[in-house]
Amino acid sequence: MTERERLLETAAGMVDSMESDILRISHAIHADPEPAFKEFHAAQLLEDFVARNGFSAVRGKGELQTAIRAQRTQNRGPSIAFISEYDALPNGHACGHNLIAASGVAAAVAFDRLALKFGLPANAVFLGTPAEEGGGGKIKMLEAGMFDGIDYAMMIHPADRTMVEDWSLAGQRVFLRYYGRPAHCAASPWLGANALEAAVQTINLVNAWRCQFRDYSRVHGIIVRGGEATNVIPEYAEVHFNVRSDQKDYHGELIRIVINCAQCAAQAMGVRVEYSLGLAYDPVANDKTLERYMAQSFEALGETVMPRMRTHGIGSTDMGNVSQKLPAIHGHLKLVEASTHTDEFCAAAGGEPGDRYAMIAAKAMVMTAAGLAADGCLAARQENPG
């Protein structure tokens, strides 16, 4: 057995030695789904685990109080961040973030042990990232400096197939608020200004644009508020849109189209509209070196790596913003042949398929990092940090 083979075998073995903790963390988070920026139980579980394994943990401030950065104090070279997500959807962990949480934290601890045992020139960093489902937790962590000094970042997301290539859509939410004037809808409707109708016409105008949107564009919205009583002209309405595109420049144009539709509809109905924008999610730009090493790791673990086809459905992730700033990878590992955000996917994430997933994902990340170290990529990164 070569030294490289021994390194990779030891990496997998270190994950196996933590199996009970990995499954305990995964099951506990799955059983207690918490929404964006409210993941207090999950964050405490993860912080306690890394603390017991010699890491010093720091929480973010304010809205980021469930964000975590943890590592040992000694500096052994370039820093590799292993990322956990742990916020839930309204229907629970239907995106499998409990699995990302357990595998990410286990990979950080296992690689730290591996680096110590073999004297690898690398620092293991654990990053607990809240609010991926629309809250842009990683974007806010980038802005707060919680990714500073990271040379590589990696995570693996559950999916219906195993892939290392990735692409995602730039995504941003548009929040529209319409202010009209109430009136009795039977006795004197002409005295009112219908905020709900302006909201409805905004949606109609956006729908009229759909046949002219570029490929890989997605604009979808809901009416959040539309009135309080059927016999009163609605004086207030609220619409939320999610706007996505695979091109950052065109994404901005789509945002402008939606806002213009809202302003035109408001003017037509004699109401006032205000808008605000959510955080902008960037498209994923995976590092090709990390893709190569992760593919090798998946294959060594018995996984069949599939190409990432543009015809395969995709959403948006704040990991895209990380990948635009530093070498990073947002890989995918098969959980079950079902779509994410469904009840079926949620059940799998909390069951036997999820247990298998968490172990393989953790091993794949540690082996990816170990491969980088064995082949001199980390030493080269230290000599040429740009």
| Out of 49-53, 169-173, 308-312, 344-348, least confident range | 308-312
Share of the chain above pLDDT 70, in %: 97
Residue 251 in tokens:
């994404």
Q: Which of 148, 316, 134, 347 is nearest to 222 (CA)?
A: 134
- What one-character DSSP code corresponds to residue 90? T
Question: How do residues 134-160 score in pLDDT, each as one tens digit?
Answer: 799 999 999 999 999 999 999 999 999
CA dihedral over 370, 372, 377, 378, signed as positive or negative:
negative
What distance lies between CA 31 and its chain's CA centroid?
20
CATH code of the region 3-168+283-383: 3.40.630.10
* Lookup result for tokens 């901005």: 252
CATH code of the region 170-277: 3.30.70.360
Question: How do residues 322-379 score in pLDDT, each as one tens digit?
Answer: 999 999 999 999 999 998 999 999 999 999 999 999 999 999 999 999 999 888 766 5
pLDDT of residue 160: 95
How far is Cα 278 from Cα 261, in angstroms, rounded to an integer? 18
Question: How do residues 25-46 score in pLDDT, each as one tens digit?
Answer: 999 999 999 999 999 999 999 9
* Domain limits, the chain: 3-168+283-383, 170-277
